[in-house]
Amino acid sequence: MFHKEGHKIIFGMLTIAIIGSIVADSFIANSYIKYSIIGVLMVLLFLVLQFFRNPKRDFILNENTLLSPVDGKVVVIEEVFEKEYFNDKRLQVSVFMSPINVHVTRYPVGGDVVFSKYHPGKFLVAWHPKSSEENERTTVVVKSASFGEILHRQIAGAVARRIVNYAQEAESVEQASDSGFIKFGSRVDVFLPIGTKIDVSLNQKVKGGITVIASK
């Protein structure tokens, strides 16, 4: 199963792979060059399919838990000053996604979307200290019954070139449903109230919509 954001790219890459393989097989006499080209095309097709996969998952929804919005590795757990929306101190949990991770962004909590904004910006590497403030990004805040207002921010990286955000202000959303997609990138930050019980640790691998990163 593949995410809808990848349908056009998958079709395009499949077309290139088929045509390229036919051309190589028909017009290149050198077997080594011919099969090298076909092999590279197949690898590229596999990588595109891998990137846009959207595996079926059995989500356990619970208003007293906050779920990881994406697949990846926890790279930041720290107290920071969040200045775009809250203008006060928050606990930040950041998950870094490699190109082989599933790149669907999911709502960590259910509730009402009270803020949704896109910011154009740079494409610094995702682990750069200023990437959360200077890179292309989207900021979404959902007001939940148990946790209050929770902010999650999609951040593009050096490879990412498009962030898709589905969140619309004033709409009600379900925990673990699709919030967006980062094409070929790269990090999501979650900002929680100070004192929230964190249930993950640094360098822990997490799954979007599955792993509990905080709880009541």
Are both 185 and 78 inside the same structural domain?
A: yes
d(CA 38, CA 17) in angstroms, rounded, equals 8
| Cα angle 208-188-136, degrees, rounded to a multiple of 5 | 140
Could you tell me if residue 57 is inside a domain?
no
Could you tell me if residue 88 is inside a domain?
yes
Are both 92 and 41 inside the same structural domain?
A: no
The residue-averaged pLDDT of 60-77 equals 96
The residue-averaged pLDDT of 117-135 equals 67
Are both 110 and 210 inside the same structural domain?
A: yes
Position 130 confidence tier, pLDDT thresholds 50, 70, 90? low
Which residue, 4, 1, 207, is CA-closest to 106?
A: 207
Note the helical H segments in 1-157: 7-27, 31-51, 131-134
Are both 123 and 191 inside the same structural domain?
A: yes
Percentage of the chain surpassing pLDDT 70? 91
d(CA 127, CA 186) in angstroms, rounded, equals 9
pLDDT tops 70 at residue 133: no
Which residue, 110, 120, 97, is CA-closest to 186?
A: 97
Are both 140 and 39 inside the same structural domain?
A: no
Could you tell me if residue 32 is inside a domain?
yes
**pTM listed for this prediction:** 0.84
Could you tell me if residue 59 is inside a domain?
no
112 against 47, higher pLDDT:
112
Position 186 confidence tier, pLDDT thresholds 50, 70, 90? confident
pLDDT tops 90 at residue 162: no
pLDDT attached to residue 21: 95
Are both 35 and 119 inside the same structural domain?
A: no
Could you tell me if residue 56 is inside a domain?
no
The residue-averaged pLDDT of 86-106 equals 92
Could you tell me if residue 58 is inside a domain?
no
Q: Which of 31, 172, 186, 215 is catalytic?
A: 186
Percentage of the chain surpassing pLDDT 90? 72
Position 6 confidence tier, pLDDT thresholds 50, 70, 90? confident
Could you tell me if residue 206 is inside a domain?
yes
Buried b / exposed e over 5-37, threshold 16 CB at 10 Å, is: bbeebbeebeeebeebbeebeeeeeeeeebeeb
Are both 36 and 98 inside the same structural domain?
A: no
The residue-averaged pLDDT of 75-87 equals 96
Query: Roughly how many angstroms between the first and final C-alpha of the chain, as a whole number?
Result: 33
Instruction: Give yes or no: 186 in active site.
Output: yes
User: Containing domain of residue 87, as a range?
Assistant: 65-215
Structure-token match 């921010």, residue found:
153
Highest mean pLDDT among 6-10, 135-139, 195-199: 195-199
- Note the Cα 153 to chain centre separation in Å: 10
Are both 34 and 113 inside the same structural domain?
A: no
The residue-averaged pLDDT of 68-79 equals 96
Are both 70 and 175 inside the same structural domain?
A: yes
State how many domains the chain has. 2
Are both 115 and 206 inside the same structural domain?
A: yes
pLDDT attached to residue 75: 94
Are both 46 and 71 inside the same structural domain?
A: no
CATH of the domain at 174: 2.70.70.10
Are both 47 and 70 inside the same structural domain?
A: no
168: tokens are: 């619309």
